[in-house]
Structure 1
């Protein structure tokens, strides 16, 4: 949940006004308050210069005027357990990220970003792009990242409708320079271009 919190923070383009931590599935029958603390620790570790712990994370939210709710539901349609962080930013926009554990090794996967369905292993370096769905976009950003010596380890594309917005999420081997991201964003006319680094806290 700490890593999911870092991804959530990385998606935010403005200050956070409210956070909902949603826990769905079998795990919701137990005390899951620690998952809310883990989410807050991940979020504020990514946006605060202070050392963040399970103890002071709720205080940091309170100091910043961030409303925090824990929502639990034992029913989960697609996954045995699903953890989602939803937020409202100060400009009124909303962001969300959801994750689960899969397989015998209980590998962490991201399964939704801003209501786009994906299935991507949690990784140290992620790039999230949103742009108008049209032919040739993958070739464009693949060329630009390749020219910048950025190795793409994994990729998934999602869209909500043909010709509407599409989302690409990439896992890459190293942190990507801001200038490279800006160039790619211009080339594909991206409405969202985020590089997210996920740390072991």
Structure 2
């Protein structure tokens, strides 16, 4: 039984776990979870007991908050949890940063927004975004240049996939950019690979948040 005051944070933790696995392309060797909370709503959701949200898509066994720490131990996964109640950006947020086997770092973050405390994504693969954590999401990382947004839209249109929303984030002009797209229907690996080829994407990932 989950206490009433922490329930708003559970969907955010679940969705961040799925987005992390999608963006990272697999499990990390080390996870660091940082919470900024003005209420108890995120204290339990971002704790190691919520690791089932990270493992559920990559293991065949049923994962629960009871056996998730065991999965972590068996896979040599190190977990750190820190609290940052003085966060100047969001009063309620969770940030998960993972170190992959090849040494690369992957980070995703989210917050609870509005009176209804709806989950929103605020970071994906190190890029700042502001996107509802819902539906079918696509993430493309590519070299920033003109025409990419149109190329992605054209490819999805040809496949009769409707775009519900899209956002581009970049750190520097001409550097790497991330395009996050929300679509109405699932996009399979073949279409994802085709779009990645058209735009020369370094990474192309899909996350299904409709079942959470």
Q: TM-score range by the shorter chain?
A: over 0.9
Are 1:11 and 2:20 an aligned pair?
Answer: no
Q: Where does residue 136 of structure 1 map in the other structure?
A: 147
Q: Where does residue 62 of structure 1 map in the other structure?
A: 73
Query: Is the 1:41–1:54 contact (alpha carbons within 8 Å) kept by the matching residues of 2?
Result: yes
Q: CA deviation at 1:39?
A: 4.4
Matches within 5 A, 1:15-164: 15-27=27-39, 32-37=43-48, 39-164=50-175
Q: CA deviation at 1:37?
A: 3.8
- Which ranges of structure 1 fall in alignment gaps of 5 or more residues? none
Structure 1 residues 69-78 or 184-193, which shifts more?
69-78
Summarize deviations over 1:95-136 as a string: whole Å, max 9, x none.
Answer: 010000111111110001122110000113110000011011
CA distance in structure 1 between the aligned counterparts of 2:130 and 2:121, rounded to whole angstroms: 6
CA distance in structure 1 between the aligned counterparts of 2:37 and 2:138, rounded to whole angstroms: 29
Q: Where does residue 178 of structure 1 map in the other structure?
A: 189
Query: Is the 1:100–1:109 contact (alpha carbons within 8 Å) kept by the matching residues of 2?
Result: yes
Q: Where does residue 168 of structure 1 map in the other structure?
A: 179
Cα distance change of structure 1 residues 128 and 87 upon mapping to structure 2, 3 Å threshold = same
CA RMSD for the aligned pairs?
A: 1.7
Which protein is richer in strand relative to its size? 1
Structure 1 residues 39-48 or 184-193, which shifts more?
39-48
TM-score (norm 1): 0.93
Q: CA deviation at 1:31?
A: 8.6
Query: Is the 2:106–2:125 contact (alpha carbons within 8 Å) kept by the matching residues of 1?
Result: yes
Deviation >6 Å, runs of 4+: none
Query: Is the 1:14–1:90 contact (alpha carbons within 8 Å) kept by the matching residues of 2?
Result: no
